[in-house]
Amino acid sequence: MNRINKLFKEKKDKILSIYFTAGYPNLNDTTEIIKILDECGVDLIEVGMPFSDPIADGPVIQHSSNVAIDNGMNLNLLFNQLDEIRKITDIPIVLMGYVNPVYQFGYEKFIKNILKCDLDGLILPDLPLDDYINEFKPIFDRENLSFIPLITPNTSEERIRQIDSNSNGFIYMVSSSSITGKKNSFDDKQIDYFQKISSLSLKNPTIIGFGISDKESFEQACKYSKGAIIGSKFIKEISNVNLNESIKNFILSVRS
């Protein structure tokens, strides 16, 4: 049982996942941010792999990606930074990014580095399910890694069930069909979508992402899933000068 499965077995609700872009705001902030998040008691950490064309992301994450790339962040450096991360934290850590940099890096080399760093899973929003099944799934199953798929309000029930049957960890339930960082509240249509997914009795738990920014939206999301992911708002917060204070105050504001 990997850390992600263990988390969902031991904690049944209000799982807080935090996303941030590696190499932002400064090149060597990655491990420090993880250390502070560990001290704050977050449940799951998603480390963004910077990419020049992050199609699913809004302006905040796009900007953080551009800054990180300008700072010199790349996959070789990121894996070097995460090489001894298990001396700092035992929280589940998932890498999130896009297919293009992974294939340029070499997917076998990429997975070897995930294993070397003792990370727990991967989110690639633009990786076709068939490609995952053919190229990644046998290795992920063998090494007990989690591939985290995304579903949206436009994903058919048939597709959702196919995704669910080929996944192991949790399902990232995108709250809307828009980019990250948009609204911070849910309308009736979104709530109907959340309730529909709950009624499917999927084998994997769900976490809601996109549009979660504060205590109110976090708790609302947790009514319809096991937890929620905060990304854009967190990245705004860590743009402040005092990284430690900014992170601790923000997590406290969500969890208080």
Q: Which residues pair with 123 in a beta bridge?
A: 96
Annotated catalytic residue: which of 29, 43, 57, 164?
57
Is 57 an annotated catalytic residue? Answer: yes
Is 46 an annotated catalytic residue? Answer: yes
Share in percent of the chain as helix, strand, coil (round to 5): 50, 15, 40
Which residue reads 């005092």 in tokens? 242
Question: Distance between CA atoms of 204 and 5, rounded to whole angstroms?
Answer: 9
List, as one string, the DSSP characters of 74-94: -HHHHHHHHTTGGGT--S-EE
Annotated catalytic residue: which of 29, 43, 46, 164?
46
Could you tell me the CA-to-CA distances from 126 to 28, 101, 222, 254 in Å, in that order? Answer: 27, 12, 26, 30
Tell me the one-letter amino acid at 156: S
- Tokens coding 222: 């947790």
Question: Distance between CA atoms of 181 and 57, rounded to whole angstroms?
Answer: 8
Which residue reads 């990180």 in tokens? 68
Could you tell me the CA-to-CA distances from 85 to 73, 92, 118, 119 in Å, in that order? Answer: 17, 11, 8, 9
User: Catalytic site residues?
Assistant: 46, 57
